Amino acid sequence: MAIAYLVNMVLMFFPGIPELISDIFLGVVTIIGFSQFVFYFRIFDPFFKKKEGYNVSGVVKPSEEPKFQIIIGGHHDSVREYTFLRKKFQYWYGIRILLGTIVYLLVVAVMIADEIHYLIVGAQFPWFGGFRIFVLAASILVLQFYFFEGKQITPGAGDNLIASTMAVKIGELFREMNKKGEMELKHTQIVLLSTDAEEAGLRGAMAFAKKYDEQLHKIPTAIINIDSIYDADEIQILTRDINGFTPLAENLAKEVKGVADALGYKTRLFPFKFFGGGTDSGAYARAGVDSTTIIGMSTDTFRDGLYYHTVDDTVEHIEPESVEMCLDILANYVAKKEKELQEKYD
């Protein structure tokens, strides 16, 4: 998108075929960019280089035929460093992206409108000369996107290996409880899941949902996804995902919050807003499965002290209390559902 803007910025001084070609290029790139990074659509996937990814899953089976299925997990892939999130810049992370995107979309809209005007009346808008100055001046907000991704791979401890680890621990917990006779899962099946390619537009979760579509709909299923657990004071349960465009299972989110409330934990329901990003729950929700995500980091527009997508995303920046809190909520949610099922079927 930054390159398309730069090309258009140069060719806007050459009305006619050169500018028409650059405007078409700008429009196509915009459609591709927004379909990938805002809506997470797979329309243009065939045109991109393929990579093999690996989802990892395991099952804790109940002693009887399962009546309910709970999937708990996160993702194990990580991204290259986001330069906008380096310590001295991250407070302005949200506003840099927002302003740059607004300027970009404004330029795209005006360029296309001017092109249509030129094709109809044979002349550009009378004020287009002044708009060129705006495009040149505003380029600093758009061209910065070219340097958005750094070269270093982030460790990904909080985003999101801690979630994969928690899924394993939940499996171990109920296996040991069953061995000791403390709690038998008679009707509840637990699936422990760690997906790949979440950072590549939720492609791992999409692949999982597609491959196991029948199993996901055969019995009632709830997916509790975990993502970016750092701060116990920032535990939030999502009701909307994928930049706010995808509704999640609000009843499930409220039920998980109810478990947290009963344990005395302070949490809140939160809908991801535009430019909030996305989690694997968005992919599951699109597949028609009840899903929510527990996150544990600030979602304020102006914020610092962030570690996700940075080279500082290491274990020491994850509060142990936040992990204990999530494990407690997850374990008690599973226990609650099993108790309800035993009361219903036994």
User: Among candidates 147, 107, 128, 131, which has minimal Cα distance to 27?
Assistant: 107
Instruction: For 118-162, give the DSSP string.
Output: HHHHSS--TTHHHHHHHHHHHHHHHHGGGGSEEEEEP--IIIIIH
Could you please state the CATH topology (level 3) that the domain comprising 51-79+154-345 is classified under.
Answer: Aminopeptidase (3.40.630)
Residue given tokens 């907000």 in the structure block:
141
What pLDDT, on the 0 to 100 scale, is given for residue 180? 87
Is it the case that residue 25 has pLDDT exceeding 90?
Answer: yes
At 119 the pLDDT is: 87
* Other C-beta atoms lying within 10 Å of the C-beta of residue 34: 15
pLDDT, position 150: 94
Residue 128 · residue 13 · CB < 8 Å: no
Longest dimension (CA), the chain: 83
Instruction: Tell me the pLDDT band of 16, cut-offs 50, 70 and 90.
Output: confident
Q: What is the DSSP letter of 274?
A: T
Nearest-angstrom CA–CA distance, 37 and 243: 9
The pLDDT of residue 306: 93
C-alpha–C-alpha distance, residues 55 and 174, integer Å: 22
Question: How many Cα atoms occupy the beta-carbon half-sphere of 208 within 13 Å?
Answer: 31
Average the pLDDT over 184-201 and give the result: 96
Q: What is the C-alpha to C-alpha distance for residues 279 and 251, in angstroms, rounded to an integer? A: 18
pLDDT computed for residue 137 by the predictor: 96
pLDDT for position 182: 87
When pLDDT is averaged across residues 308-316 and rounded to a whole number, the result is: 96
Rounded Cα gap, residues 77 and 79, in angstroms: 7
SS3 state of residue 343 = helix
Q: Average pLDDT of 247-274?
A: 96
Amino acid 163: pLDDT: 98
Q: Where does the pLDDT of residue 317 fall: very low under 50, low under 70, confident under 90, or very high at 90 and above?
A: very high
Mean pLDDT of 238-258: 97
Mean pLDDT of 253-281: 95
For the cut 90, the answer to whether the pLDDT of residue 295 exceeds it is yes
For residues 200 and 240, what is the distance between their CA atoms, to the nearest angstrom?
A: 19
Residue 302 main-chain phi, psi, to 5 deg: -105, 115
Q: What is the pLDDT of residue 344?
A: 94
What is the C-alpha separation between 246 and 285, in angstroms, rounded?
7
> Which amino acid is located at 157 in the chain?
A
Q: What is the pLDDT of residues 71-114, one digit of tens each?
A: 999 999 999 999 999 988 899 998 999 999 999 999 999 999 99
| CA atoms within 13 Å, Cβ hemisphere of 73 | 26
What residue segments make up the domains of the chain, in order of their start?
A: 2-45+86-150, 51-79+154-345
Give residue 273's pLDDT. Answer: 86
User: SS3 for 249?
Assistant: coil
Q: How far is CA 81 from the centre of its chain?
A: 16
User: What is the model's pLDDT at position 303?
Assistant: 85
Residue 228: per-residue pLDDT? 97
